[in-house]
Amino acid sequence: MYSVKSNSLNPNPIPKFFVTVLLGFTILHSINHYSEWALIIVISIMYFINGFRKEGMQNIIVFGILFFVPDFTILAKFPLVIKMLLSLLFVVRMFYIPYASGKFLIKTSDVGSIMSSMDFLRIPKAVSIPKEVSIPIAVMFRFFPYFVEEKNSIKMAMRIRGIETKNPVKYLEYVAVPLLIISSNIADDIAKAAETKCIANPIKKTRYITVRVHIIDFIYAFIMTVIVVGGRLCLH
């Protein structure tokens, strides 16, 4: 399961949600290259100060590779096969910045703080989320950490037994199929647990984690907003 470290420099999920949505607009409304790098560097710095150095370095390296993929105007001059491959990479590049922000949100926020943030913003009450929607949302937030944990456990068990999973057929047999079965069981168990805790009950719920607004929340949201707006204005 993801290890979320308690850190006064870790923004709560509310500004992380805001930044992820904000960066989503960069997919259709491009910003200049300096601003793109500034966004990636800020996200990587947030990874570093929260103890996720590996993720911070991966973030910079992956974007550095994608950065050199030519855009569609240049791709038009390439042969068809190369054009198709590079076009796919360019689409990945377009979505990478909001993806990096979303990954930072999930990696550095536990489920309790995310649900508490929704209560803080009164999202369930404001949009009248029905039981058919609220339960899948709760299951989704709790599912992925358990899924990653089970996947790592299966791979470790294969290594202990000396079973190689590089072969696609063996990977399907020893990893993919068990994961499908385990995933179904995990989702079912989490859904039952959510219903047992009366997730669909409209009354106010108590939480183990209380979300509070700190100065780092405003700083993170402000810096990212300035970079996006400035990067957009520099194109005009």
219's tokens: 């700083």
Each domain of the chain, given as residue ranges in start order, spans 13-115+212-233, 131-196
What are the tens digits of pLDDT across the range 107-120?
Answer: 888 766 776 666 66
Residue 199: strand, helix, or coil: coil
Q: In this structure, are residues 224 and 23 in contact, taking their beta carbons and an 8 Å threshold?
A: yes
The distance of Cα 137 from the centroid of its chain, to the nearest Å, equals 15
CA atoms within 13 A on the CB side of 173: 9
Report helix, strand or coil for 78. coil
Mean pLDDT of 40-68: 92
Task: Give the tens place of pLDDT for each residue, 159-185.
Answer: 888 777 677 777 777 777 888 888 888
